[in-house]
Chain A
Amino acid sequence: MRTRNAPTAAVLALSIGLLATACGGDDDTDTTGGEGDSGGVSGEVTMWTYPAIADEPTHRAFWNDTVAAFNAEYPDVEVTVEIFPWADRDQALTTAIAGNSAPDVVYLIPDQLPAYARNIEPIDDYLSEDEKADYRQNVVDSVTIDGQMMGAPILQSVLALVCNKQVFDAVGQTEYPETWDDLLELAPTFQAAGFDMTAYGGDVANSLNLSFYPLLWQAGGDVFNEDGTEVAFDSDAGVRALEFVQQLVENGYVDSAQLTTEPPLEQTRIAQNKVACVWHMEPQYLVDFWGAENVVVRPPLKDAEQIQYGTVGSLSMLRSAEDKEAAGAWIDFVTSAERAAEYDTAGRFFSTKESVGSLYEGDPILGELEQYAGLTTVGPLNAHAREVMGVLAPEIQAVLVGDKEPQQALDDAAEAANALLG
């Protein structure tokens, strides 16, 4: 009997073993060194960031150097920087937070802050007073929710109008558009010569901060009312902005391929030197396709207002961070004026600190762009901003494909959006 039962027992043991292996966690114990010299700050910090510096080796080298410099000051803090792709970053972060495997520090932009606000440890108390006071006020405002900074800004990006000199030369135009009316006036000439006046990315996966919202702001409108309790994009300004887009589409002044999908940049007419001006792209990304000599940076388009979107990238600490002092020290170190300026220059961004001043003086592209930093906004800091985009973007697309008129589309979107706002 004993012999016959042996296989049964072996299989049972194997089953339990396999299950234990599958379900078991990582039992490795923390081997971080003891108390350090810097105020006893020690522990482990894991940071998730994204390819803000497009060249991967340069990006990786920056973080390696920064970790080494940080460790010279804080030898007992072990920092791991993980660089993830931009795509699906919210999905990855959400899953990690839900699964209790979130990083301690993560790169976020203002658009994301309200959604994660519950999970974020306000950073005010972890930043040194000098560094905190050095931030520009509009930068601080862009990461502040309920009076607390939800992240330490490390970079600022700026969008303006970018035109292709090669295309203007081919058409024989020397004047660049400054207003919506200029754009519409010039468009037939470019169209007759086989060029698109501009481009509009209507794919619902795109952020409206890059496409429709700048037009809405320029028309004098806004996404939400002042207290954020209702949407305001269905105003006359909103209708005017959407009618402007409709005009561009119906007259064939933009490439229809980008109205419903977002092809890779190299497959677009923008990359093929067939588009005169764009307002949704940073000029540095166009240099490879247009040539630096053809990239002309102009002020943001103007209608009732002259305004554009620009974002602020910040490092936020999650509440789940175990070694908050260590994470705070790391964030303070990385976002210091000197270190952040190095990061901004490598990534061709702009500084968030007063003390840094101009990073690109004399640069015909970035130096020009830097001048318009004051004309940018980070967009609505509303907890429902993304949901509202989710209902508005398809309605805008319905106008682009000819299914709805602007007023109807905005009214329908407003009804759905206000229901979300409660």
Chain B
Amino acid sequence: MTVSGIAVASRRSLRRREARVGLLFVLPVLLLFLAFRFGPAIAGGVLAFTDYTIGAETSWTGLDNLRRMIDDPLFWRALRTTLIYSLLAVPLSILASLGMALLVRRSFRGVRLFRSIFFLPVVTSLVLAGIVFTWIFSEGGPWSSLLGAVGLPDGSWLSDTALVVPALVIVAVWTRFGFGMLILLARLQDIPRELEEAALTDGAGAWHRFRYIVLPELTPALYFLAVIETTVSFQVFDTVYVMTGGGPAQSSYMLVFQLYDQAFRYFDFGYASAIGLALFVMTLVVALIQRLTLGRDR
């Protein structure tokens, strides 16, 4: 073997050893993940095909729970509400994140303070946010007073079957834009300033610089955000639980709320698991569609 051949073999051996050590370092987390996240998820999938409930014999029911789900008008209603909520919350949340990231992108006095303040809602408890927003949207609360002052109907949005979902969307955008802002800000700061300066020299306006230089560079981050935001939106529960309880008249009743009701109010874990399985499939399909559109070649 030549000297260079020995050197290559030695480097390969070193890399393999490093890989082994690396693998061992992540092993605890991997095993915990398998035991406490992946395992229960698989178990949940299996439960969807049983009639499991507490204290009773569990038997295999095949596709009964899925058939029941298909025939359940409440499931379709919850699905439709979840989709409407997500269709509003995901784009608005990303737009708000993008807007705020562009606002705090430049360095100016106090920008760090602004970034921290904008990130604050992300670390605020959703339950706490829900309680505060319940007051904000209540009859006679700040939101209705504001609407009344400009001559709009001043009733409580949480009591209105048409406005309750938009109210929840506003809360979602408020609680989540900080996270998106952080992701997009990190990406924005990686874009070479020379590109925008060159475009400026060539006479490109602000919109064109954003459209043809900034936006293409942000696409991977936007794809990531779209997947995360969609997943979070499909799983919305805390704010619904605290603010509306799925009402009024089930107009904010969403899939995870139905899952919760079936499991913890009616103890029908088999059916609850079937709803969970449907939610998983739905999230997966939407994530794949997002990958085919936003995430191409990335």
Taking beta carbons and an 8 Å cutoff, which residues of A are in contact with B? 4, 7-8, 11-12, 14-15, 18-19, 22-23, 90-91, 94-95, 97-98, 115-116, 118-119, 203-205, 256-257, 259-261, 263, 319, 386-387, 390-391, 394-395, 397-398, 400-401, 403-404, 416
Nearest-neighbour CB distance to chain B for A319, whole angstroms, equals 7
* A15, A91, A205 interface centre (most CB from chain B within 10 Å): A15
CB-CB contacts below 8 Å: B60-106 with A:
73-74
**Does B35 touch A at the CB level, under 8 Å?**
yes
Known contacts A94-B264, A390-B265, then 18 further A-B pairs from the complex at CB < 8 Å, ordered by chain A residue: A4-B17, A8-B20, A15-B27, A90-B264, A91-B264, A94-B267, A204-B247, A257-B156, A261-B138, A261-B158, A261-B159, A261-B243, A390-B266, A397-B248, A398-B249, A401-B159, A401-B160, A401-B248
Nearest residue (CB) in A for B68 is: A419
**Chain A residues with Cβ under 8 A from B150's Cβ?**
none
B21 & A11 in contact (Cβ 8 Å cutoff): yes
A203 & B266 in contact (Cβ 8 Å cutoff): no
**Chain A residues with Cβ under 8 A from B247's Cβ?**
203-204, 260, 394, 397
Q: How far is the CA of A345 from the CA of B108 in the complex (A)?
A: 66
Bitwise, B225-253 to A at CB < 8 A (1) or not (0) is 00000000000000000011111111001
Q: How far is the CA of A8 from the CA of B28 in the complex (A)?
A: 13
**Chain B residues with Cβ under 8 A from A97's Cβ?**
54-55
**Chain B residues with Cβ under 8 A from A204's Cβ?**
245-247
**Chain B residues with Cβ under 8 A from A261's Cβ?**
134, 138, 158-159, 243-245
Nearest-neighbour CB distance to chain B for A93, whole angstroms, equals 9
Nearest-neighbour CB distance to chain B for A240, whole angstroms, equals 21
Nearest-neighbour CB distance to chain A for B289, whole angstroms, equals 32
Q: How far is the CA of A119 from the CA of B267 in the complex (A)?
A: 12
17 contacts between A and B (CB under 8 A): A4-B17, A8-B21, A23-B35, A90-B264, A94-B54, A204-B246, A205-B245, A256-B156, A256-B159, A257-B139, A259-B159, A261-B138, A261-B158, A390-B261, A394-B247, A398-B248, A416-B73
**Chain B residues with Cβ under 8 A from A7's Cβ?**
21
**Chain B residues with Cβ under 8 A from A98's Cβ?**
54, 269
B249 & A397 in contact (Cβ 8 Å cutoff): yes
* A95, A387, A395 interface centre (most CB from chain B within 10 Å): A387
Q: How far is the CA of A271 from the CA of B177 in the complex (A)?
A: 38
A18 & B28 in contact (Cβ 8 Å cutoff): yes
Selected from B73, B138, B243, B250, the residue in CB contact (under 8 A) with A394 is: B250
**Chain A residues with Cβ under 8 A from B263's Cβ?**
94
Selected from B20, B55, B266, the residue in CB contact (under 8 A) with A387 is: B266
Q: How far is the CA of A398 from the CA of B160 in the complex (A)?
A: 10
**Chain A residues with Cβ under 8 A from B246's Cβ?**
204, 394
**Does B207 touch A at the CB level, under 8 Å?**
no
Nearest-neighbour CB distance to chain A for B203, whole angstroms, equals 56
**Chain B residues with Cβ under 8 A from A260's Cβ?**
156, 158-159, 244, 247-248
**Does B31 touch A at the CB level, under 8 Å?**
yes
Q: How far is the CA of A102 from the CA of B267 in the complex (A)?
A: 15
A386 & B54 in contact (Cβ 8 Å cutoff): no
With A15-B27, A319-B55, A394-B253 as contacts: A257 and B248 at CB distance below 8 Å = no
Q: How far is the CA of A381 from the CA of B80 in the complex (A)?
A: 34
Q: How far is the CA of A226 from the CA of B269 in the complex (A)?
A: 29
With A19-B31, A90-B265 as contacts: A259 and B248 at CB distance below 8 Å = yes
Nearest-neighbour CB distance to chain B for A403, whole angstroms, equals 5
A401 & B28 in contact (Cβ 8 Å cutoff): no
B32 & A19 in contact (Cβ 8 Å cutoff): yes
**Does B125 touch A at the CB level, under 8 Å?**
no
**Chain A residues with Cβ under 8 A from B146's Cβ?**
none
